A and B are shown apart, each in its own frame.
Chain A
Amino acid sequence: MAIRNHVIVLADECKGCGLCIDACPLNVLEFADALNSMGYRPARYKGEGCSACGSCFYTCPEPGAITVIRNVEGLEKGHCSHCGGEVLLFPDYRDPSRMRCIACHQLLKEKA
């Protein structure tokens, strides 16, 4: 089955307050094992089960730390020119013809 929902926590933008983990009704978020570059223990997605309710997005105090993808058709696996790996890509909100990397959030250089 194709992935349609997803939640992305950018580790380096997360301050580890835990509000999203507390707010998640399906308990699909957890604290990561490793600390981020600021020394906080960031939240992360367990990998499956997200219903894209948005609770974590709205409780998170950081503007860009959490992205929730709800029922998106265009979600695809692909190569990220920034992190250099095979990752999930999602369409950019300003220009849906371009993709963003789920892992590093960067806009891909080439158009899809």
Chain B
Amino acid sequence: MKTSILQKSDSFYDIFTRKGGMQLQSTHYCPGCGHGILHKLIAQALSDFGIRDRTVLISPVGCSVFAYYYFDVGNIQSAHGRAPAVATGYKRANPDSIMISYQGDGDLAAIGANEILQAANRGEQMTVFFVNNAIYGMTGGQMAPTTLIGQKSTTTPRGRSSQNEGFPLRMSEIIATLEAPVYVERVMLTDAKNIARTRKAVRKALIIQVEKKGFSFVEVLSPCPTGWKMTPVNSKKWITDVLARYFEPGIKKDVSEDRQPLIQMRPQPHFNQYHELLDIKSLSDDLQGIPLPEIRPVSDDIKIAGFGGQGVLSLGYALANIAMGHGYQVSWLPSYGPEMRGGTANCSVKISDQRVASPLIDNPSVLIAMNKPSLKRFEPDVQPGGIILYDCGLINTKPDRTDVRILGLRATAEADKLGATKAANMIMLGAYVRMCGFLSEDYILKALPLIIKNKAFYTLNEKAFLRGMAMANGSI
């Protein structure tokens, strides 16, 4: 007899901080839930194969959303049903990682049904564990795509009917019809014998990925005693007697013997090469030799807001690029509606000598308001001692604040005189640059044509920028 100890796998964290307090050792799952059993089988396989350190497990939306509290591996929590897409991206960028997409029936067969089909059809190198308990567990027992005909749920109180809700989806059979998948099996978490089969399937599915053979899919019929309103022991029997009649366990497809390992043919470019490959130039490449002022301690949170089409986003984009060219850390976060013109738009620009932790701005130190709704909306948020720049030609009310510096510019009207109202944003840029005092005028004049590439606006933008600087002069 072999000596061994069956105990908590080291692919689990020692303590589970999910529930806090005294319950640091147990999961959040209901008594008798199948998730814990499958978790154990996966964790054991990861430890046994020595792949824990390169494994990334994607937890779904559903009861197993908190898998990242339990598995001591890389974890990603993806949007509902999107785990196969996230796994695709991660795996392609890191071909040696082991991707596990752990999904429930709501996640995989309902909202993410197309996602999984496309990933399977592309033969992405990942292992999918599909936990099918024929019900929506987390949300309180609603009908799932896999709910059986006649099965009662909170949304089918008289039982699912095929006329009204259609038939339960057999995902394994659907995926097995595709060309690309290597291994598709349905197993069930019932007695020790079937759990041993599940264990075997879990291990095989992972080995296929370790050997880089392609897409593997294991559907697990799993008890949900709470959702089914049964005892854990009766749930086990219900799977065998009822659920497994419709969702027949067994290997649906296995071509693992015939598949050759897929070896990455093209060498992966190094991160530093992407600029070159994508033809992205940095401003500093083209503007070498222009003397720049020294970096100063700066922490400007700039909110720029107006109508779509006023150049609100371009202004922020130009400003962020200019500051970056000076050596500052920046972020630029646009926010706009679906309309290309006429909707409201705003963007947040952060400029700092320190690294920017978050691009979000709740309380701007500078507000550039290009229309009335924007001024109304963001004026109360400006930090005391901050700056409000607004287009006093378009906005007929003055800001109420007395604890900030306020500068009204007839930017749109001035731009119109220069040639086009569109250049109002460059007037605002000039005014801001004049007021902030840490950006070089020479540099900006040379940088602007490189940032806003439309040749028709080269001279207009330059004139508007200089006009903005002059207009701000009087107010300093």
Mark A residues whose CB is within 8 Å of B: 10, 12-13, 15-19, 22-23, 25, 37-38, 40, 52-55, 57-73, 90-91, 93-94
Q: What is the chain A residue whose CB lies nearest that of B44?
A: A58
Q: Is A63 in contact with B70, judged by CB distance below 8 angstroms?
A: yes
Q: Considering residues B1, B39, B199, which has the most beta carbons from chain A within 10 angstroms of its beta carbon?
A: B1
Q: Is B34 in contact with A22, judged by CB distance below 8 angstroms?
A: no
Q: Is A71 in contact with B4, judged by CB distance below 8 angstroms?
A: yes
A69 contacts which of B5, B8, B37 (Cβ < 8 Å)?
A: B5
Q: How far is the CA of A38 from the CA of B2 in the complex (A)?
A: 36
Q: How far is the CA of A16 from the CA of B4 in the complex (A)?
A: 26
Q: Which chain B residues border A70 with CB–CB below 8 Å?
A: 1-6
Q: Is B40 an interface residue (CB 8 A)?
A: yes
The stretch among B24-32, B265-273, B368-376, B404-412 that forms the contact with chain A is: B24-32
Q: Is B36 in contact with A68, judged by CB distance below 8 angstroms?
A: no
Q: Is B9 in contact with A63, judged by CB distance below 8 angstroms?
A: yes
Q: Is A61 in contact with B3, judged by CB distance below 8 angstroms?
A: no
Q: What is the chain A residue whose CB lies nearest that of B27?
A: A62
Q: What is the chain A residue whose CB lies nearest that of B16?
A: A63
Q: Is B232 an interface residue (CB 8 A)?
A: yes
Q: Which chain B residues border A54 with CB–CB below 8 Å?
A: 6, 192
Q: Is A59 in contact with B37, judged by CB distance below 8 angstroms?
A: yes
Q: Which of B222-240 contact A (CB under 8 A)?
A: 225, 231-233, 236
A19 contacts which of B12, B39, B232 (Cβ < 8 Å)?
A: B232
Q: How far is the CA of A37 from the CA of B19 in the complex (A)?
A: 14
Given contacts A23-B191, A61-B37, 17 further A-B contacts (CB under 8 A): A10-B25, A15-B30, A17-B32, A19-B32, A22-B233, A22-B236, A40-B31, A58-B37, A58-B40, A58-B196, A58-B199, A61-B33, A63-B36, A63-B39, A67-B6, A68-B5, A93-B5
Q: How far is the CA of A17 from the CA of B233 in the complex (A)?
A: 8
Q: Is B32 in contact with A63, judged by CB distance below 8 angstroms?
A: no
Q: When A61-B36, A65-B26, A72-B5 are in contact, do A94 and B195 touch as well, CB less than 8 Å?
A: no
Q: Is A19 in contact with B5, judged by CB distance below 8 angstroms?
A: no
* B239 CB, nearest partner CB in chain A, Å: 12
Q: Is A17 in contact with B225, judged by CB distance below 8 angstroms?
A: yes
A-B contact pairs, 22 of them (CB 8 A): A10-B25, A17-B32, A17-B225, A19-B233, A57-B7, A59-B191, A60-B36, A61-B31, A61-B32, A61-B37, A63-B8, A63-B27, A65-B26, A67-B5, A67-B6, A67-B7, A68-B5, A68-B6, A69-B5, A70-B1, A70-B5, A90-B5
The number of inter-chain residue pairs (CB within 8 angstroms) is: 112
Q: Which chain B residues border A62 with CB–CB below 8 Å?
A: 26-27, 36
Q: Which of B182-196 contact A (CB under 8 A)?
A: 191-192, 195-196
Q: What is the chain B residue whose CB lies nearest that of A16?
A: B31
Q: Is B277 an interface residue (CB 8 A)?
A: no
Interface residues of B, CB < 8 Å — how many? 40
**Nearest 6 interchain pairs by C-beta:** A61-B36, A17-B32, A64-B8, A15-B31, A17-B31, A55-B192
Q: Considering residues B30, B33, B36, which has the most beta carbons from chain A within 10 angstroms of its beta carbon?
A: B36
* A39 CB, nearest partner CB in chain B, Å: 11
Q: How far is the CA of A54 from the CA of B5 in the complex (A)?
A: 9
Q: Which chain A residues border B27 with CB–CB below 8 Å?
A: 61-63
Q: Is B23 an interface residue (CB 8 A)?
A: yes
Q: How far is the CA of A37 from the CA of B30 in the complex (A)?
A: 16
Q: How far is the CA of A55 from the CA of B8 in the complex (A)?
A: 15
Q: Is B171 an interface residue (CB 8 A)?
A: no
Q: Is B22 an interface residue (CB 8 A)?
A: yes
Q: Which chain A residues border B231 with CB–CB below 8 Å?
A: 18
Q: How far is the CA of A91 from the CA of B23 in the complex (A)?
A: 25
Q: What is the chain A residue whose CB lies nearest that of B233?
A: A22
Q: Which chain B residues border A23 with CB–CB below 8 Å?
A: 191-192
Q: Which chain B residues border A18 with CB–CB below 8 Å?
A: 32, 231-233
* B191 CB, nearest partner CB in chain A, Å: 7
Q: How far is the CA of A70 from the CA of B5 in the complex (A)?
A: 6
Q: Which chain A residues border B22 with CB–CB below 8 Å?
A: 12, 37
Q: Is A72 in contact with B3, judged by CB distance below 8 angstroms?
A: yes
* B1 CB, nearest partner CB in chain A, Å: 5
Q: Which chain B residues border A37 with CB–CB below 8 Å?
A: 22
Q: Is A64 in contact with B7, judged by CB distance below 8 angstroms?
A: yes
Q: Is B43 an interface residue (CB 8 A)?
A: yes
Q: How far is the CA of A67 from the CA of B9 in the complex (A)?
A: 10
Q: Is B286 an interface residue (CB 8 A)?
A: no
Q: How far is the CA of A15 from the CA of B10 in the complex (A)?
A: 21
Q: Which chain B residues border A52 with CB–CB below 8 Å?
A: 6
Cβ contacts B112-154/A at 8 Å (1 or 0 each)? 0000000000000000000000000000000000000000000
Q: Which chain A residues border B4 with CB–CB below 8 Å?
A: 70-72
